[in-house]
Amino acid sequence: MFEKYFALRTKFMRASEIRELLKVIEKRRIISLAGGFPDPHTFPIEDFYDITDAVLKDYGTHALQYSVTRGVSYFRHKLIDFAYKMRGIKVKDLEYILVLSGSQQGLDIIARTLINPGDYVVVELPTYLAALNAFNLSAPNYIGIPMDDYGMRVDILEDRLRGLYSEGKRVKLVYTVPIAHNPAGVTMSYDRRKYLIELASQYDFLVVEDDPYSYLVFENVDVTPLKALDKEDRVIYLSTFSKILAPGLRLGWLIAHPELTDIFERCKQSLDLHTPTFSQYIAAEAIKRGIVDKVIAKAKAIYKRKRDAMLDALVDFFPKNAWWSKPIGGMFVFARLPWNLDTKALLPEAIEKGVAYVPGQSFFVDGSGKNTLRLNFSYPSVKEIRSGIEILGKFFREKAKELGLA
């Protein structure tokens, strides 16, 4: 009845499939490998009592007051140190930092300030769904680049760039999750990271580096961020406290050239004036007291155990010629079934059997990935992971037999 009042742009606001799914699951006792939640055991609840106390005592009048759009200076100073200590990124000054209400807001701001309808935007196949949802409002032309075990196929990107440029078209930005990808569960190799930065310079585009998971890598691999390789300030580095402290704080941040942060700041002003001052002081204090380091250490230990449980269970219960990623960190494994089964069509039945997952197709801008699925290992218990994978493995095998595929 109210639809006639809706603005045209609401056409691009698709309900997130995952969120719709979570609603169904909440009501039932099933094993969910579908979500994207951190393990709540990583939340430093006891420490939050002390930090909250200290913030109110030491900064009370500031912490509860309006603050500047760009972010509390005290916090931005802490972020500069944090970016260097954790990621080897040298930030020249405070003007390079913009505090965000979750890195999701960064994606929204980037879409609003940089993307015109029809602009060419490169994403990975598969890519982060919430990024697509944010970008969709600006109606870009997506170019999907396949991934393998070493991340985005940057060589294929180069071919596509060459083709487009020969037709007089230009790519404006490349969106990537280089380390412990959501949903793909893979990590871009160091060589490809360097190659991508070279292409950015050669073909004159910007790179949006979404980096929530490099802090949660539990194998000994190089995780140098694109931003640390970026000599021309072409990279917009996005990160968040959602996976390393608490997502409920809604606290993210970005690093980019001040010309970019200026326009982002102007945009953010109309979105929410500023990110909650209180969250910023809480996080600053958590960094200062080593609480973030503590959460990271704990999360790494827990997620490594859970990742191992999931990979072991996949070996034991999934069809032999299925493919799945072997993540070095983060929270997700991505799997591809050996048969042409439609994981989306099968989901309701899987839920009946007691397990939920996210069908992979909606992560692919080219409509492929029908037989893929995303499996979360951060939230369910080790026991749930094992029995969830066992149930799914059996279920897919049965379905393949039923349809004469296996």
Ligand X SMILES: *Cc1c(COP(=O)(O)O)cnc(C)c1O
Residue length, the chain? 406
- d(C-alpha 259, C-alpha 291), whole Å: 33
Number of residues that bind ligand X (CB under 6 A): 14
Query: How far out from the chain centre does Cα 390 lie?
Result: 27
What's the rounded Cα separation, in Å, for the pair 241 and 154? 29
Residue 405 carries which side chain, given as an amino acid letter?
A: L
108 lies in the binding site for ligand X (CB under 6 A): no
Question: What residue type is assigned to position 322 of the chain?
Answer: A
**Which residues, numbered 251-270, are part of the site for ligand X (CB under 6 A)?**
252
Candidates 71, 212, 327, 388; binder of ligand X (CB under 6 A) is 212
Window of 16-24, 199-207, 238-246, 296-304 that interacts with ligand X by CB under 6 A: 238-246
Cβ neighbours for 18, distance < 8 A, ≥ 6 positions apart: 34, 35, 36, 129, 358
| Residue whose CB is less far from ligand X, 210 or 230 | 210
Q: How far is the CB of 402 from ligand X (least distance, A)?
A: 34
- Cα–Cα distance for residue pair 118/320, rounded to 1 Å: 42
Q: Which residues of 342-379 are buried (b: 16+ CB within 10 A; e: fewer)?
A: ebbebbeebbebbbbbbbbbbbbbeeebbbbbbbbbbb
The interface mask with ligand X, positions 31-50, x = CB under 6 A, is: -----x--------------
Contact 218/230 with Cβ under 8 angstroms?
no
Residue 210 beta carbon to ligand X: minimum distance, rounded to whole angstroms: 5
Smallest distance, ligand X to C-beta of residue 102, A: 3
CB of 251 to ligand X, least distance (A): 7
DSSP string, 303-372: HHHHHHHHHHHHHHHS-TT-EE---SBSSEEEEE-SS---HHHHHHHHHHHTEE-EESGGG-TTS--TTE
Q: Is 209 in the site for ligand X (CB under 6 A)?
A: no
Helix or strand or coil: residue 60? helix
Least Å from the CB of residue 250 to ligand X: 7
Both structure tokens of 371: 């037989």
* CB nearer to ligand X: pick between 89 and 161: 89
Q: What residues numbered 167-186 form the site for ligand X, per CB under 6 A?
A: 177, 182
Locate 309 and state its tokens. Answer: 């449980």
Interface residue with ligand X among 42, 69, 104, 325 (CB under 6 A) is 104
Task: Kindly state the smallest distance separating residue 378's Cβ from ligand X, in Å.
Answer: 10
Q: Which residue of 108, 124, 210, 384 would you call a contact of ligand X, by CB under 6 A?
A: 210
Closest distance of CB 168 from ligand X, Å: 32
Which of 59, 82, 96, 128 is close enough to bind ligand X by CB under 6 A?
A: 128
- B/e letters for 192-205, b = 16+ CB within 10 Å, e = fewer, are bbebbbebbeebeb
Residue of 33, 87, 96, 102 that binds ligand X (CB under 6 A): 102
Contacts of 163 (CB under 8 A, 6+ apart): none
Q: How far is the CB of 37 from ligand X (least distance, A)?
A: 9
For residue 136, which phi and psi values (nearest 5 degrees)? -55, -30
Would you say 59 or 278 has its CB closer to ligand X?
278
Residue 240 found at the interface with ligand X (CB under 6 A): yes
Least distance to ligand X from the beta carbon of 195, Å?
21
- Both tokens of residue 19? 């969120």
Amino acid at 208: V
Comparing CB distances to ligand X, the nearer of 102 and 140 is: 102
Q: Looking at 74-82, 100-108, 154-162, 220-228, which segment touches ligand X (CB under 6 A)?
A: 100-108
Q: For ligand X, which stretch binds (CB under 6 A), given 135-143, 237-245, 343-351, 361-369?
A: 237-245
- The 55-94 site mask, x for binding ligand X (CB under 6 A), equals ----------------------------------------
Q: Which residues bind ligand X (CB under 6 A)?
A: 36, 102-104, 128, 177, 182, 210, 212, 240, 242-243, 247, 252
